[in-house]
A = this chain, B = another copy of it.
Amino acid sequence: MKKFINHPDAVVREALVGLAAAHPDLRVDLEQQIVVSADAPRAGKVGLISGGGSGHEPMHAGFVGLGMLDAACPGEVFTSPVPDQILAAAKAVDGGAGVVHIVKNYTGDVMNFQMAAELSGDEGIEVQSVLVDDDVAVEDSTWTAGRRGTGATMLVEKIAGARAEEGADAATVAALGTRVNEASASFAIALSPCTTPAAGRPGFELGEDEMEVGVGIHGEPGRRREKLRPAREIATMTLEAILAAKPVAAGEDAIVLMNGLGATPLIELYLLYGEFAGLLESAGVRIARCLVGNYVTSLDMAGMSLTVCRADPELLRLWDAPVRTPALRWGV
C-alpha cells in the first residue's frame, strides 16, 4: 500500500485537520468528528445532515456550506458514522426547524442514522429522513438489502439543500429529497480495486483485461466481472441499465452526473461523457445540466459511475440555486 498518510488509524482525523485548515468556512469538531457550516444553526432553517464512511471525498464534508449541507458526519473509512456523531451534528445545526438526515441505503448507515434519530427525538429535535438508493446495478429483491445509495446522494444534497435554504420545513425538504432519489438511477464500473488504509491491500484482484461491472463505492466486488471493452460499448451498456430501471422519455430533461471513482483521470471522464451525451441525444433526452468530475469516490479506485436524474422545472431551479461549499460552488 502506498499512500500519503502517517498511520492507517489516523487518516480520517488527520484529513479533517487539513479540511479545517483549508476551509475556514467550516467548523470541524475533531472531538465529535463532525463538520459543520460556520453559520449554523440558523434560526428557522431546517438543518441538512448527511454522513457515511470516509473515503468518498469530496462527499460529504466537501458539500457542507451555503445551499447544501449544514453538517457532515464522516465515519471511519467505509464505515458509517456512529449515532453520537449524528446526534452532535443535529444539536449543532438545529435552528428550531428540525433536521433532515440524508442516508445512503447501507445496513450500517441506516441503523446508525436510525438510532441517532431516536436520540435526537429524545432531545426534542424533529428528524426527517431521506433514504438514497439509486444504484440500479443491484436489483431490489428479497436477495438484497435493497439498492445501494451512490451518486444520486450529491444530487439529493444539492437540491434538498437549496430548498432548505428557501425556508421549507423539514417534511417538505425530505419529501423533495426522496423525489430526487426516486427520479435518479446510477450504475458504476471499476477498472481497478481500491485499498483502504486499514486493510493495506486491494479489496479484490482484477486481470489486465477485466473490468468489474456494477460496483459500489466501498471497494466491494461488483455484480459481475467482464472483459474490458471500448468506452463506447461501456457507455451503451451503462446507459441501458439506467434507462431500463428508470426511463427518461424523449423530450424530457435530465441532470447528469458523470462521476469518477477516484483514480480515473478527467480526460477519460470527459471522453465517456461525450459518449453518454451522444447516446442521450439519440434517445431524445435533453441534458439540462451536467457535472463531470470526481464527486462520489471510492478512495483510489479507477472507475466511473453515471447518474441520470429525470428533472423538471422545480428541480432545475433548485439545482441552479447558489451553492458555496468546498467542492461545489456557483452563483456566489
Residues in A lying within 8 Å of B, measured CB to CB = 2-7, 11-12, 14-22, 54-55, 57-58, 62, 77, 191-192, 208-209, 211, 228, 230-232, 234, 258, 262-275, 277-278, 287, 290, 292, 294, 297, 299-300, 302, 304, 324, 326, 329-332
Is B21 a contact partner of A55 (Cβ separation < 8 A)?
no
Q: Chain B nearest CB: distance from A299 CB in Å? A: 5
9 extra interface residue pairs, beta carbon distance < 8 Å, beyond A22-B258, A22-B277, A55-B267: A4-B269, A5-B268, A6-B232, A14-B274, A17-B271, A18-B274, A19-B274, A57-B265, A265-B297
Is A54 a contact partner of B299 (Cβ separation < 8 A)?
no
Which of B6, B57, B290, B302 interacts with A266 by CB under 8 Å?
A: B57
Which of B2, B232, B264 interacts with A302 by CB under 8 Å?
A: B2
Which of B209, B262, B277, B329 interacts with A265 by CB under 8 Å?
A: B262
Copies of this chain present: 2
Please, which residues of chain B bring their CB within 8 A of the CB of A263?
A: 262-263, 265, 300, 302
Which of B18, B19, B228, B300 interacts with A264 by CB under 8 Å?
A: B300
Q: Chain B nearest CB: distance from A167 CB in Å? A: 24
Contacts A18-B272, A273-B21 given; indicate if A192 touches B2 (C-beta within 8 A). Answer: yes
- Pairs A–B under 8 Å by Cβ, sample size 18: A4-B272, A5-B231, A6-B230, A6-B231, A11-B267, A17-B278, A18-B274, A18-B277, A18-B292, A21-B277, A22-B258, A22-B277, A55-B265, A57-B266, A57-B267, A262-B265, A266-B294, A292-B326
Is A5 a contact partner of B57 (Cβ separation < 8 A)?
no
Q: Chain B nearest CB: distance from A209 CB in Å? A: 8
Contacts A18-B275, A266-B57 given; indicate if A228 touches B2 (C-beta within 8 A). Answer: yes
Which 5 residue pairs across A and B have the least CB separation, nearest first? Answer: A18-B274, A21-B277, A18-B270, A263-B263, A57-B266
Q: How far is the CA of A316 from the CA of B12 in the complex (A)?
A: 31
Q: Chain B nearest CB: distance from A321 CB in Å? A: 14
Q: How far is the CA of A23 from the CA of B228 in the complex (A)?
A: 29
